Amino acid sequence: MRTLLRVLSPLLGLVVAALGAFVAVEVVNAWVRPAAGALVLPWPAWQATLQGWAWSAAPVRLIAAGLSVGALLLVVLALRAGRREVRLINPAPAITVTTSPRSLARLVAHQVRELDHVAAASVTATPRKVSVRAASREPADTATPDIAATVHTLLSELPLAHTPQVSVVVRNTEIPA
């Protein structure tokens, strides 16, 4: 999300600048040379079209709906482009230490896959919650506490500022006899 914001933000700035330049140039042109017509874009034709369309016309509604959806995506992007980081304990007042949720998930997944009975595991992590989905050769009711204990041990060894909740979902790979 943050990368997308970094790409989109200067482009939007350029769009705003281009819009401003277009308005200024066309208005000055129409003012100074009233008979010359449009300079860059055929805005008199757009004017005629907009005079012909009522607010309830289908094209107006479609454009308005498209604008709303696009603008909503921008709002979502702006809201979700915050920092994604897991805070660790600060070793000294002026030193902050963080890690990425992805990196924490990778570490947990690695540890869970080391267990003998685990065939596969996928992990997602946020600063508040670590979710493990694992496939085990053991029944879920014995595998789940084992995996949860492993994850808890690992998390307690890390100097995390807040210990996240752990959720484990186990799927049994053995076909019942």
Partner 1 sequence: MTGPATTAARKATARAAGAQRTLVGLIGVLGLGAGVAALVVGSGLLGADRAARPVLDPVALNTLSAHQSLARAAAVAAGVALLVAGLIWAARAIKPEHRPNLLLDPRSTSRLEISASAIADALRADAETIPGVNRVRARTVGRTATPVLRLTLWLEDGANVRDVYHDLDTGVLTRARDSLGIESLPAAIRLELDAATPARVT
Q: In this structure, are residues 109 and 123 in contact, taking their beta carbons and an 8 Å threshold?
A: yes
**Minimum distance of partner 1 from residue 116's CB (angstroms):** 18
Could you say whether residue 152 binds partner 1 (CB under 8 A)? Answer: no
Nearer to partner 1, 74 or 149 (CB): 74
**Minimum distance of partner 1 from residue 129's CB (angstroms):** 17
Distance CA 26, CA 59 (A): 25
**Minimum distance of partner 1 from residue 94's CB (angstroms):** 4
- Select from 150, 96, 101, 106 the least CA-distant residue to 128: 101
Q: Under rule CB under 8 A, which residues in 22-41 are in contact with partner 1?
A: 22-25, 27-28, 30-31
> Would you give the binding string for partner 1 spanning residues 77-96, x where CB under 8 A is met?
xxx-xxx-x--x-xxxxxxx
Q: How deeply is 174 buried, as exposed, middle or buried, from its count of CB atoms within 10 A (0-12, 13-18, 19+)?
A: exposed
Nearer to partner 1, 17 or 120 (CB): 17
Nearer to partner 1, 18 or 137 (CB): 18
Side-chain-side CA neighbours of 20 within 13 Å: the count stands at: 6
Q: Of residues 41, 65, 149, 161, which one binds partner 1 by CB under 8 A?
A: 65
Could you say whether residue 45 binds partner 1 (CB under 8 A)? Answer: no
Q: Under rule CB under 8 A, which residues in 112-151 are in contact with partner 1?
A: none
Q: Of residues 39, 41, 45, 60, which one binds partner 1 by CB under 8 A?
A: 60
- Residues in contact with 108: Cβ distance below 8 Å, sequence separation at least 6, in sequence order: 123, 125, 130, 132, 151, 154, 155
Distance CA 81, CA 4 (A): 8
